[in-house]
């Protein structure tokens, strides 16, 4: 299924999307609930996609866990050794914008970079799941791990550069795991800035695949339904280019993953500080 979370007439609802049509599942409490228990949530009315506002599939994830240096070519373009254990950092919910809405520049920096990523959405509680890791995945989506590069490098911890308000995005579609190859392997992944392809790779270049990430993370922390793992970005990011390419006000950035969909956002000038 291709599941969406959307706003209509002041209500947040969940449904399945087929092209320009959304079938509402009124009893579903979340996109993950619909993905894991589809038989419990019959279809109600059908509405046009144009009549709803798409939101992130999970508007407020309990955890947003990000993986750094998880594509071989990306590690090499940054001059890093291929890691033998995932580099893990966290994002907070205030760092994300909704699909189709504005990402925000900051007046602190002019180094706003893009990162196309596969999002793994947890569907079932996972603690030390080992080889059963993929049984705990509800589905997959697109993620833009937008980064303020100079702040990312102010210390050995990346948290500050990854958590400026509304610098990342997630969605709009949650494609259930049964619709894709196991672990979403072998899917083309791209970013496009103002229509120009910047990143163009395949999820087979991931060092730690979806199963490995869920397994390793669940050794330390219990993963809960709705948690999101952003699985790292391919080569071609802005800071590694010569000269570097960073996003500016008025730009449009698109993240597309084969068979999953396209996440599109514009870039807006920073808000006036209060």
- Provide the b/e sequence for 235-248 (b: ≥16 CB within 10 Å): bbbbbeeeeebbbe
Say whether pTM exceeds 0.95.
yes
Are 111 and 150 a contacting pair, CB within 8 Å? yes
Cα distance between residue 115 and residue 245, in whole Å: 12
Measure the N-to-C terminal CA separation of the chain; round to a whole number of Å: 43
Comparing CA positions, the residue from 158, 112, 135 lying closest to residue 253 is 112
Per-residue pLDDT tens digits for 152-209: 999 999 999 999 999 999 999 999 999 999 999 999 999 999 999 999 999 999 999 9
Give phi and psi for 7, each to the nearest 5: -110, 135
Residue 155: how many other CB atoms lie within 10 Å: 10
Are 24 and 44 a contacting pair, CB within 8 Å? yes
Give phi and psi for 238, each to the nearest 5: -65, -40
Structural domains of the chain ordered from first start: 2-55 (2.30.30), 64-268 (3.90.850.10)
Q: In tens digits, what is the pLDDT along the chain, a chain of 274 residues?
A: 999 999 999 999 999 999 999 999 999 999 999 999 999 999 999 999 999 999 999 999 999 999 999 998 888 888 888 899 999 999 999 999 999 999 999 999 999 999 999 999 999 999 999 999 999 999 999 999 999 999 999 999 999 999 999 999 999 999 999 999 999 999 999 999 999 999 999 999 999 999 999 999 999 999 999 999 999 999 999 999 999 999 999 999 999 999 999 999 999 998 766 5
């Amino acid at each position: 299924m291709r599941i969406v979370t959307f706003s209509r007439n002041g209500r947040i609802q969940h449904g399945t999307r087929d092209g320009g049509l959304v079938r509402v599942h009124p009893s579903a409490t979340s996109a993950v609930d619909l993905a894991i228990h589809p038989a419990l949530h019959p279809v109600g009315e059908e509405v046009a996609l144009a009549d709803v506002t798409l939101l992130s599939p999970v508007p407020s994830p309990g955890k947003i866990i990000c993986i750094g240096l998880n594509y071989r070519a990306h590690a090499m373009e940054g001059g890093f050794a291929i890691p033998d254990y995932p580099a893990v950092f966290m994002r907070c919910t205030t760092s994300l914008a909704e699909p189709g809405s504005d990402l925000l520049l900051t007046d602190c920096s002019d180094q706003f970079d893009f990162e196309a990523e596969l999002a793994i959405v947890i569907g079932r509680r996972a603690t030390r799941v080992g080889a059963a890791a993929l049984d705990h995945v509800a589905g997959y989506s697109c993620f833009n791990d937008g980064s303020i590069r100079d702040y990312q490098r102010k210390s050995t911890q990346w948290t500050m550069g990854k958590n400026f308000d509304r610098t990342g995005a997630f969605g709009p579609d949650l494609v259930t795991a049964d619709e894709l190859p196991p672990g979403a392997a072998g899917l083309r992944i791209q970013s496009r800035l103002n229509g120009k392809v910047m990143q163009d790779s395949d999820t087979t270049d991931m060092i730690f695949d979806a199963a490995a990430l869920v397994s390793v993370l669940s050794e330390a922390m219990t993963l809960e339904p709705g948690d999101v793992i952003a699985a790292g970005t391919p080569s071609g990011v802005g800071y590694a280019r010569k000269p570097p390419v960073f996003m500016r006000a008025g730009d449009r950035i698109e993240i597309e993953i084969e068979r999953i969909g396209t996440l599109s956002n514009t870039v807006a000038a920073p808000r006036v500080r209060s």
